[in-house]
Each structure stands twice: as structure tokens, then as C-alpha cells.
Amino acid sequence: MKHELAECIDLPQVDKPPISRERKRVEVATIHDSQPRFVKQRTSSIKTHAWSGYAREEVAGVLQMRFGLDLFRPGQEEVVMAAGRGQDVFVLMPTGAGKSLCYQLPACMDPGLTIVISPLLSLIEDQVQHLKALGIPATMLTGGIPLDEQKAIYSTLLASSKPSIQLLYITPEKLSSCKLLKRTMLQLSREHKLSRFVVDEAHCICQWGHDFRKDYMELGQLRRRHPGVPITALTATASDKTVQSIATSLGLVTPHLEKTSFNRPNLSYSCRLKTTTFAQDLKEFVMCRQDQSGIIYCLARNDCEKLVEDLTGGDPSQHWVAFYHSELDADEKSYRHQAWSSGRIKLIVATMAFGMGINKPDVRYVIHHSLPQSITHFYQESGRAGRDGLHAECVVYYSYKDYSRRKKMLPSGTASRQVHFQNLRHVMDLCENTVSYCTTLCRRQMLLEHFGEAWTDAMCQQTCDTCQGQAVDTMDITDDCLALWDIVKHCTQLGVQPTLIQVALLFLGKKLPGKQKAMLSAKIAGFGHGKAKKYTRAHVEGLLYFNVYRQYITEMSKVSGKYTTYFLRLGHEHMAYVDGTRILLHTTSPIIEDHLDDISSPEDDNASDMESAT
């Protein structure tokens, strides 16, 4: 298709414009309050436009006449005025805060073309349709556009001294792969017809970010190829470290940083450890809200399908709920997304494939069926609730097995794996709601402090389960843990690499199959410790996953052909308790977890069924 398009359009060969040797990539410093500060070394001598700034009365007129609004939301006006001065801009605002207006309004006032790079076709389609409905000339240039339409778009862009299109939406993949698009952009840049580049969902450029996209790395070339064109970067979720990484990758120079509060006061937060009644509790929660719009996020595709079957009783005539994951074809994804957005489907049960670009204002609840991948994932996914400003509920159901399953999904690279591992531990800490595993904190406070925002639990106004005074159970599980450690230690000393299930069986006093393994029973301290307490296997597995999370016990992997087996060894953290210090479990729910039936997949989960952004 690329060669056909090149033949259809008489595009002259364009030499790359000279690149200023004066402009260097931004250095980012950190000041004492942990807020990112951008330091400019030298400015560029190249200017695309004579940026003189916008008149405020003109801005107010465009806001009202083109967008039908009388007032800006917090931070929007500051971003618009910075864009009018020709500055690079970094917009860090939560979901629903109005980031899109921050570049759409300047695009209506600038003489040239604004190119918006966005990661999702569905998001692009929604934005273009919205702008066209407002009478704003906008279009998209993606792989799915017919050849004759693409030809017409290129011709329109190059036809006159002032482009009749004000906003052009493209995907990073289109930019990375299409030479014709790159040549067109160079010509527009040389003719001073490019006003601004906009990088939406800018966190995708960060390699340790939660939605890293390889083709976003190409965006680092925009500054080199078009040194005089300002760049606006937007994201809803980025820590200070991620902000600095994005700014450096894009080469932002002295950008205007607009950072509004991450707090969503209309959202309530709660985290619930899965128990034997988990499936029934979840079903009751949903059925009481069957007339409301909601999202349930699951870890794996089969979890989505099974949950929908459970909620409908397998009745195919019930269309109020549907699942959504990456195995659906594009047409079916689009249909289910639109049906949910319009209210024909009330509840969507999805993997993280149902992600960016959701713009439904009246979502009343978001449930995580299992542990989220990171605090950033949790914030972004739960933030899809309550965009209309009305009260909405955000609930996480988690288990220690969820933590173990997530850990097995981490990328194999040493550096990136460690970053993702720490992210996983942080979100588990949020769910556990503990500091040093003994003191409960406001969940909202923990969430906002993750993004570097100062907060106290007094400001929560009882909108999280901790501040609502939920009772906390305390269990002394020291003796149980010591017995489990003895089993793992003696198995290792005897040359056996025990799996989690094998340790659970030995703890319950059950002999392992096979003569050699059966002989272990008499030699291992801790054998049968749980039998006298009448523990179930589910209870013991819950204890073991708790030990894995606390790093008292470590799960090791052993690859044999196509199969990976996980076995247990003692972890370094158990040494802190060998002197008699007690191990206390603080939780709002009992530790007993029914892993065998309702909660999650069997021990040999198929990782290919799980969906991850890493």
C-alpha cells in the first residue's frame, strides 16, 4: 500500500531540514519537594511560527463558540496559554480532568496543523467524531483508512498555504512504518505548516511504564526531525520518575508542567482478601447494581468468560453483561465497546485489553477480580469510574495466589523484571494496607503518595474502607510458619525441590506419591503440623502464598522443555523471626482462601491466557 500511495501522490523528494546544533535534549532535575523541574541548556534558533501568545478574550471566545463551554477546568487555561507562547507542554491530569481540550483549543487558534499521536484506534475514532460534531476540521490517518481516502488526506495537507485540516490523528505504528507520512511531515515542517505535535498517553514511551509501546520510542525522533515544532505530552498516570523519563525521551525543552491533583474525591476505595464466599459476594454486589454501568477487570481470558457464565447462569439470552479480551476479533471488540458505551450492555468483564480510550462518564463501579499489576494500573483502571463527578465504587478482590500468579508473568529481563517486581509489591502493600506489616493507613493516602502528592487520612472523609473503621483481625501464625519453613528446609537438605502443593500436603500429614517421596514424611520436621488444627488444603495454600509474598519463602523456577515447574526455598526475610519474634497477620478478612474452586485457575495456570502490558 505504501508504494501505491507514493505513486498516487506527486510528492517531491525533500531533504531533511537543518538541525540546530544549539538545541539539546532537556535535562531534568529534582528539587527538594520531589516535583520534577525542567532545566533548559540552550534554546533553538529555529522557529516555526512567531509565537506571540493568545489574547485571553479570543481564547474565551473559542472556548464558548467552538466547544460550548463557559469556564475552564483547573489547569486547562494555563496549558492553553503556554501553548500560545510556543512552549513545550507536559500535562499530568487524572482521568476525566479534560486533557483533550488542552491541545484541541490551541489547534483551533493556531495557523498550522496539529498532529496527535494516540495509541488506540477506538480512542482516535471517538475524538475525531467528537471534533467533527463540533464543526472542527479533524481527520485520522491510520492503516484501516481506504487508499483513496488516504490519498485525499495527503493532497489536502499539501494543497494550500494554510491546511484546511486542523487536527490529524495518527497511531505511533503508522508514524513508525509509513515513509510517506514522514516525508509529508517534513515538507509541512519546512513550509511552516506544522503548529504542534501532541503525544497522548505519553506514559507509553517509558520502558518501565505500565503500558510501554515499542513504537512510542520512535517519537523521540520528532524533536530531531522537526526541531522548531513544539510538543505537548499528556498522561493521566505518571510518577515523578516517569515524568522525567518521558520529558527526556521526547527532548522537551523548558516545558510548562501542569500537574493537577490525582485525588478523585467522588471515588470510594476498598480492598478485600478473597475468602470462601468470594464468588457469592461478587455476584451479590453486581446483581444489586444490575441497572448500573460497571467494569470488572480479570487477570486472564478464561476468568472473564467463566465469570460471565457464572453471572448469567449460562443463559445466552442475558445480554446485560459481556466479556472482552484480546482474542475477540476487531469487529466484535468494537461492537461490545459501543454496546457498553451506549448502555445496551451494563457490565463489561475484561482483561486489561479493555484499556485506554474509555470515555463513558456514568460508570458506577470498577471491580478488580484479582490483584492489579501495579498501583499505576489500579489508579488508571479504577479511574474509569465516576467521570461524571458522581459517587462511584472501586473494589479490589485479591489473594496471595494472585500475587504469585502475577509474579510469574513478569518480563524476563533482569532490570525491567526488578522494576515490575517492586511495582507488584507496592500494589500488594496497598491491598494489605500495611506499613512494616503492622500499621494500617488510609488507602487514598497510600495511593496519592505513590504519585508524590502530600495527603493525610483526615482528608479522606471516610471514603476508603480503612477510614470507615472496618474491623481488623489479628492472627498469630508464627508456629504455622515455623513448621512450613522446617518442611521446606529439610526437603532442600534431602535433595528434594518441593512444590507449593507438596509442602501443603506434608504440612497436613499426607504422604507424597512415589516411594522415595513417601519416605520423606518420617524425616521432615513439621510433617502433619496442620492436621491437628484441622486445616484444609486451601487454608495451608493461603499460608504458603502469604509466606511467598512476605519473602519468608521464595518460589524458584525450573524449566524442562516446554514446561516450567516452580519449587520452594527459604527466603531471606524468614531470618528476622528465628529469634522468637512473633508473626502477626493483620487483615480485614480471614486468611482462608478457596483457591481450588471459585477463586482462580489451578496451580498450573497457562500464562498464555493472561494478558499483560509489560
**What is the full DSSP assignment across 176-232?**
HH-HHHHHHHHHHHHTT-EEEEEETTGGGG-TTSTT--GGGGGGGHHHHHSTTS-EE
CB-based burial, 153-170: b 16+ in 10 Å, e otherwise: bbeebbeeeebebbbbbb
Which amino acid, 568?
Answer: L
Task: With beta carbons less than 8 A apart as the criterion, state whether 499 and 565 touch.
Answer: yes
> Strand 584-587 and strand 473-476: pairing?
antiparallel
Burial class of residue 197, CB neighbours in 10 A (0-12, 13-18, 19+): buried
Q: What contacts 510, CB < 8 A, 6 or more positions away? A: none
pLDDT at 295: 97
d(CA 386, CA 463): 14
| pLDDT at 216 > cutoff 70 | yes
Q: Any bridge partners for residue 271, and if so which? A: 396
Whole-angstrom CA distances from 562 to 90, 417, 606 are 45, 21, 12
d(CA 291, CA 346): 7
Helix, strand or coil, per DSSP, at residue 331: helix
Fold observed for domain 478-582: Arc Repressor Mutant, subunit A (1.10.10)
Fold agreement (2-11+26-259, 267-470): yes
Burial class of residue 453, CB neighbours in 10 A (0-12, 13-18, 19+): middle
pLDDT band at 344 (very low <50, low <70, confident <90, very high): very high
d(CA 300, CA 309): 15
pLDDT in tens, 271-326: 988 888 899 999 999 999 999 999 999 999 999 999 999 999 888 888 999 999 98
pLDDT at 401: 87
Look at 39-48, 184-193, 466-475, 566-575 and tell me which has the smallest mean pLDDT.
Answer: 39-48
| pLDDT at 21 > cutoff 50 | no
CB-based burial, 479-499: b 16+ in 10 Å, e otherwise: ebbbbbbbbbbbbeeeebebb
pLDDT in tens, 544-559: 888 888 889 998 888 7
Mean pLDDT taken over the chain: 81
Whole-angstrom CA distances from 499 to 204, 418, 496, 505, 598 are 37, 23, 9, 10, 22
| pLDDT at 358 > cutoff 80 | no
CATH superfamily of domain region 267-470 = P-loop containing nucleotide triphosphate hydrolases (3.40.50.300)
| pLDDT at 138 > cutoff 90 | yes
Q: Where are the alpha helices (DSSP H) in 528-599?
A: 537-549
d(CA 349, CA 141): 31
Nearest alpha-carbon partner for 194 in 221, 166, 216, 170: 166
Nearest alpha-carbon partner for 117 in 176, 57, 55: 176
Look at 48-62, 199-213, 409-423, 453-467 and tell me which has the smallest mean pLDDT.
Answer: 199-213
d(CA 353, CA 303): 14
pLDDT band at 587 (very low <50, low <70, confident <90, very high): low
User: Hey, which of 142-156, 277-291, 529-543 has the most confident mean pLDDT?
Assistant: 277-291
User: Hey, which of 21-35, 42-56, 473-487 has the most confident mean pLDDT?
Assistant: 473-487
Percent of the chain with pLDDT over 70: 81
| Cell numbers given for 373 | 499489576
pLDDT at 164: 87
pLDDT at 596: 34
pLDDT at 449: 87
3-state SS, 385-450, equals CCCCCCCEEEEEEECHHHHHHHHHCCCCCHHHHHHHHHHHHHHHHHHHCCECCCECCCHHHHHHHH
Which amino acid, 357?
Answer: G
pLDDT at 454: 82
Which amino acid, 174?
Answer: K
C-alpha torsion 395→397→403→408, nearest 10:
-90
pLDDT band at 23 (very low <50, low <70, confident <90, very high): very low
DSSP 37-76: EEE-S---S--SS------HHHHHHHHHHHH--SSPPTTH
Contacts 24+ apart (CB under 8 A), 503-511: 503/544, 503/568, 504/537, 504/540, 504/541, 504/544, 505/537, 507/483, 507/535, 507/540, 508/535, 508/537, 508/540
Which amino acid, 606?
Answer: N
More confident residue, 566 or 436: 566
Span 479-502, mean pLDDT? Answer: 89
Other Cβ atoms within 10 Å of 63 Cβ, number: 20
| pLDDT at 515 > cutoff 70 | no
pLDDT in tens, 437-462: 445 778 998 888 888 888 877 788 89
Residues across the chain: 614
> Strand 293-297 and strand 363-368: pairing?
parallel
pLDDT at 414: 62
Query: Domain locations in the chain?
Result: 2-11+26-259, 267-470, 478-582
User: Hey, which of 3-7, 66-70, 121-125, 410-414 has the most confident mean pLDDT?
Assistant: 66-70
Whole-angstrom CA distances from 74 to 98, 108, 361, 570 are 9, 20, 18, 52
More confident residue, 153 or 416: 153
Task: With beta carbons less than 8 A apart as the criterion, state whether 506 and 527 touch.
Answer: yes
CATH-assigned architecture of domain 2-11+26-259: 3-Layer(aba) Sandwich (3.40)
Nearest alpha-carbon partner for 53 in 84, 18, 76: 84
| Cell numbers given for 395 | 473494589
